[in-house]
Amino acid sequence: MTNVNNQENIAIRTVNLNLWYGSFQALFDVNLAIKQGIITSMIGPSGCGKSTVLRSVDRINERLGYVRIDGAIQVLDKNVYDADVDLAQLRKQVGMVFQRPNPLPISIFDNIIFGHRIHRSPEQKISRSEEEAIVEAALRRVLLWDKVKDKLKRKATLDLSLEERQKLCIARLLPVKPAVLLMDEPCSALDPKGTSAVEELIWELRGEYTILLVTHNMAQARRASDECVFMLMGRVMEHSKTDDMFVTPAKRETADYIEGRYG
């Protein structure tokens, strides 16, 4: 890795992370230090392991019985693969946004409060008006409140555009106060207008959350991130400030990728 300042707080750290799908090795000695409170984009050709890294951080990879991991992944200094890690607690800390917006087929209100209801302790008594305040705050945060405030009881899968659904999927993570948001090509299903709206929203959340954003869109990485990680064939090739990477990439492979010579 180059140009990464170690003085700052690190939200996600991987240490010599290797990962195999069966006998196929998808990650090789991945050492990442993702800083708190900024947006880090992750770029690289299809199949280089970007989604695999994200899915390892919140441990959804292991649902596949044939995944083996070696090395460590720390979220806020705690190794997420330690025996005493509570998966529910981990998922509360780490929110994930996918390529296709996937709201649950329940009301907009229930989508937003769903995670909060699951994660709060049974003793915690929350009134309806408190829930309403939580839902309103989350929807306001993603700039969706005015649009949906009169149809909170409508199914979220019915009359929202893709852009609005993706904003909703981001909003529903917020009530449990995650430390980290992982976003795997969150705009790739959206049209240009939707893309810039969701990009602006992601930028809005900067500072409050640590965001790791996978994208195939070079312009998006450039516009919407502070630091950038370039991966190639399961390895981290370069990690630097986004401006530096796009202006003076340290590696030949990075320059080739940025200039569109492959992938």
Which residues contribute to the site for ligand ATP (CB under 6 A)? 21, 24, 26, 44, 46-52, 64
* Nearer of residues 21 and 145 to ligand ATP, judged by Cβ: 21
- Ramachandran angles phi, psi of 160, nearest 5°: -100, 145
Minimum Å gap between C-beta 57 and Mg ion is 14
Helix (H, G, I), strand (E, B) or coil at 141: helix
CB closer to ligand ATP out of 55 and 222: 55
Q: Does residue 142 contact residue 89 with C-beta atoms inside 8 Å? A: no
The gap from C-alpha 137 to its chain's centroid, in whole angstroms, comes to 20
Q: Of Mg ion, ligand ATP, none, which one does residue 49 interact with (CB within 5 to 8 Å by kind)?
A: ligand ATP
Closest separation in Å from C-beta 52 to ligand ATP: 3
Distance CA 8, CA 111 (A): 35
Element (H, E) at 85: none
Q: How far is the CB of 65 from ligand ATP (least distance, A)?
A: 11
Of 98 and 246, CB closest to Mg ion: 98
For ligand ATP, the closer CB: 148 or 180: 180
Minimum distance, C-beta of residue 173 to ligand ATP, in the bound complex (Å)? 20
User: HSE of 169 in the Cβ direction (CA atoms, 13 Å)?
Assistant: 25
Residue 3 or 102: the one with the smaller Cβ distance to Mg ion is 102
Q: Is 220 in the site for Mg ion (CB under 5 A)?
A: no
Q: Encode burial over 61-84: b for 16+ CB neighbours within 10 A, e otherwise.
A: beeeeebebebebbbbeeebbeee
Contact string (CB under 5 A) for Mg ion, positions 41-60, x = contact: ----------x---------
Instruction: Indicate the residue type of 116.
Output: H
Please choose which of Mg ion, ligand ATP, none residue 52 contacts, taking the beta carbon within 5 to 8 angstroms, the exact cut-off set by kind. Answer: ligand ATP
Listed in sequence order, the DSSP H helices in 120-191 are 128-141, 145-148, 162-171
Q: Among ligand ATP, Mg ion, none, what binds residue 47 when CB lies within 5 to 8 Å by partner kind?
A: ligand ATP
Binding site for Mg ion (CB under 5 A): 51
